[in-house]
Structure 1
Amino acid sequence: MTSAESPTAQTMPPALEEIVEEFLAVSDRDKLELLLELSRELPEPPAEYADRLDEMEQVVECQTPLFLALDFDDTHRTAQLIFAAPPEAPTTRGFASILYQGLSGLSYEEILATPDDVADRLGLKKAITPLRLRGMSAMLARVKANVRRHLETAES
């Protein structure tokens, strides 16, 4: 299936669409390996966040501690995503890495237009528990809520 034929082609940012297509192209067992690989690619938070996790937002819906922050660039109307998750939480780190690679640096509008069902589109229902999938959905919801809150504050 080409990108143009994919049901996600018109609704997802290209980098995120590419990740989803990678997941859909492999078996359930290989999906877990891909998620583990992505977990290793999640960058550590910038130095200014290293000792200030308490200033980041905790995504409490995740089974393991996950912290989130966004750096906004109002000149270009883009947001950089910052995640912090322990190395011993590869599933959570993998989900964070998917969102980081798929959304970080995009415009506010592109982030807000991202479908809420990204976790479902990865085809992980047989390989990952529903609770963990809800954690990823919660991460995306928090990212979008932060963008909306920032826009409301910037416009007032």
Structure 2
Amino acid sequence: MTETTALPTAFAAIVEDFTALGPNDRLQLLLEFSQGLPALPERYADHPELLEPVPECQSPIFLLTEVDGTGDDAAVHLHFSAPAESPTTRGFAGILHEGLDGLTARAVLDVPADVYNRLGLAEVVSPLRLRGMAGMLGRIKRQVREKAGL
């Protein structure tokens, strides 16, 4: 069993991309994910109160999980608000967005809570920052469970 076996295809590909690189290049890839984070949709841009803060992150980040339907097969969509001057936090949000957005509720809930460890970023990012990514994933999963009725 490889480290990516239990991961959704998109997330497994991200893990493979990170682990194929050396430490400095991993940090660069994280910054690229920060630049690829989609903007918050208009319907939420004027309503920040609808987004949940992630206090585990050292930088201010807010997220909202939309779930289309109920049950294991409900489609999940992720939205994040993070300042451009927080590239590490935005990078983690970008990874979660690319790896999880559009998946079923069950697929999101089955992602291991420590998936951030598989990215090989512990060499270049502080444990406090990695805890922020874990906080984001934990909130996403809780919102999915609540909204999908699981």
| Backbone CA RMSD of aligned residues | 1.3
In the alignment, the residues of structure 2 paired with residue 139 and residue 87 of structure 1 have an alpha-carbon distance, to the nearest angstrom, of: 17
Q: What residue in structure 1 maps to residue 95 of structure 2?
A: 98
What per-residue deviation string (whole Å, max 9, x for no partner) do you get for residues 33-72 of structure 1?
Answer: 0000110000011001112112200011111110100111
Moved over 4 A (4+): none
Q: Does 1:38 align with 2:33?
A: yes
Q: Can you give the 5+ residue segments of structure 1 that lack an aligned partner in the other structure?
A: none
In the alignment, the residues of structure 1 paired with residue 148 and residue 29 of structure 2 have an alpha-carbon distance, to the nearest angstrom, of: 34
Which protein shows a greater Rg? 1
Identity between Structure 1 and Structure 2 (%): 47
Q: Can you give the 5+ residue segments of structure 2 that lack an aligned partner in the other structure?
A: none
Q: Which amino acid aligns with 2:39?
A: E
Q: Does 1:23 align with 2:18?
A: yes
Q: Does 1:58 align with 2:40?
A: no
Q: What residue in structure 1 maps to residue 120 of structure 2?
A: 123
Q: Say which of 12, 26, 36 aligns to 2:7.
A: 12
CA-CA distance at 1:118 after TM superposition? 1.2
Q: Output the TM-score relative to the length of structure 2.
A: 0.94
CA-CA distance at 1:102 after TM superposition? 0.3
In the alignment, the residues of structure 2 paired with residue 15 and residue 145 of structure 1 have an alpha-carbon distance, to the nearest angstrom, of: 21
Q: Which amino acid aligns with 1:141?
A: G
CA-CA distance at 1:122 after TM superposition? 0.5
Q: Which amino acid aligns with 1:138?
A: G
Q: Aligned with 1:83: secondary structure?
A: strand
Q: What residue in structure 1 maps to residue 64 of structure 2?
A: 69
Q: What residue in structure 1 maps to residue 42 of structure 2?
A: 47
CA-CA distance at 1:7 after TM superposition? 2.3
What per-residue deviation string (whole Å, max 9, x for no partner) do you get for residues 80-128 of structure 1?
Answer: 0001100000000000000000000100000000111111110111100
Q: Output the TM-score relative to the length of structure 1.
A: 0.91
Q: Aligned with 1:127: secondary structure?
A: coil
Aligned length, in residue pairs: 148
Q: Which amino acid aligns with 1:53?
A: P
Q: Which amino acid aligns with 1:126?
A: E
CA-CA distance at 1:151 after TM superposition? 2.8
Higher relative CO (CA 8 A, sep ≥ 6), structure 1 or 2?
2
Q: Aligned with 2:56: secondary structure?
A: coil
In the alignment, the residues of structure 1 paired with residue 137 and residue 80 of structure 2 have an alpha-carbon distance, to the nearest angstrom, of: 12
